[in-house]
Amino acid sequence: MAHSRTRRPHSSEENSIQNRLLAQFPTEIYRKIAPELEPVTLSFGQVVYEVGDRVKHLYFPHKNTMFSLLCTSQDANAVEVAVSGWEGFVGIGTLMGGDLSQHQIISQIPGTAVRIKSDVLQHVFQTSMEARTLLLRYIQALISQISQTALCNRIHSVEERLARWTLVSQDRTDKSQLPLTHEFLARMLGVNRSTVSLTAATLQQAGVVRYSRGKFTILDQERLQEVSCDCYRVVKEQYKRLGIF
């Protein structure tokens, strides 16, 4: 395989810290693609792809970095349907026969990631059964998350959904404090800002979370799980069954 960069490949030790999915790649496959992995830094709310954009790269987040996948309408409304952190990647459509993004993909929790050209990973997907199995397993988990989120957005209260969303975000970080504004949370949940403010205030008064100046802090994770709808448990168990978490 011809390499477009001469950057030294990551060691397996470094890789195991950076992205859990890449860490499971066969050693010989990872060594081949390592020079093609381009490090990137993502800012809060940065748009990686708009709906309909051609997917030229797939992004593999590092720990403490998280992407949101949003469905958008023609009147600029949006709602989050899934998240992806260091357990996976974004840009799945290019491995499934498509080349255009079906979602708006933004950096929800800023940090670092690596990206790789779509055609490079497509070659790996087509030639390595073990890598293909790993990638498809993650895609299956992500589709399950999207399906469960659709149900959640339809039948559960904002309080339940906010609790679930906060837990999902924390699962992809090692922090109890998340850099989130009410405006951003409202967009993710598909509700207005005042609804998020009232809901967050209720959770704060109950001593479950604390919100101050764009920082959302989990104070009692066990109680937050009690507030959350069952969708959190269902998706997490599916991810565990598939070996994602």
Share of the chain above pLDDT 70, in %: 93
Mean of all residue pLDDT scores within the chain: 88
H runs (alpha helix) in the chain = 12-18, 20-23, 27-33, 118-127, 129-155, 158-171, 182-189, 193-205, 221-227, 231-241
User: Both 64 and 24 in a single domain?
Assistant: yes
User: Both 25 and 143 in a single domain?
Assistant: yes
Check residues 201 and 3 and name the one with the higher pLDDT: 201
Q: Is pLDDT at 12 greater than 70 in this prediction?
A: no
User: Both 105 and 166 in a single domain?
Assistant: no
Domain presence at residue 40: yes
Q: pTM of this prediction?
A: 0.88
User: Both 145 and 163 in a single domain?
Assistant: no
User: Both 43 and 82 in a single domain?
Assistant: yes
Q: 71 vs 77, 108, 187, 191, CA distance in Å? A: 8, 15, 11, 14
CATH of the domain at 86: 2.60.120.10
Q: Is pLDDT at 3 greater than 70 in this prediction?
A: no
Query: Which range has highest mean pLDDT (45-49, 174-178, 216-220)?
Result: 45-49
Cα–Cα distance measured from residue 70 to residue 61, given in angstroms and rounded to the nearest whole number: 17
pLDDT per residue as tens digits for the range 138-173: 999 999 999 999 999 889 999 999 999 889 988 888
pLDDT per residue as tens digits for the range 66-94: 999 999 888 777 888 999 999 999 999 99
- Pick from 181, 227, 170, 229: nearest CA to 203: 227
Q: State both tokens at 150.
A: 């659709």
Predicted confidence at residue 182, as pLDDT, reads: 85
Predicted confidence at residue 22, as pLDDT, reads: 94
Taking residues 40-51, what's their average pLDDT?
Answer: 94
User: Both 103 and 125 in a single domain?
Assistant: yes
Domain presence at residue 236: no
Q: Is pLDDT at 43 greater than 80 in this prediction?
A: yes
The total number of structural domains that make up the chain: 2
User: Both 195 and 172 in a single domain?
Assistant: yes
User: Both 183 and 88 in a single domain?
Assistant: no
User: Both 137 and 161 in a single domain?
Assistant: no
Domain presence at residue 138: yes
User: Both 161 and 139 in a single domain?
Assistant: no
pLDDT per residue as tens digits for the range 183-198: 888 888 888 889 998 9
Contact 67, 59 (CB under 8 A): yes
> Residue 131 is part of which domain span?
12-152
Query: Rg of the chain's alpha carbons, rounded to an integer?
Result: 18
User: Both 90 and 190 in a single domain?
Assistant: no
Taking residues 219-239, what's their average pLDDT?
Answer: 94
| Residue 126's pLDDT band (cuts 50, 70, 90) | very high
User: Both 70 and 108 in a single domain?
Assistant: yes
DSSP for 70-133, written as a single string: EEE-TTS-EEEEEEE-TT--B-GGGGTT--B-SSEEEEEE-EEEEEEEHHHHHHHHHH-HHHHH
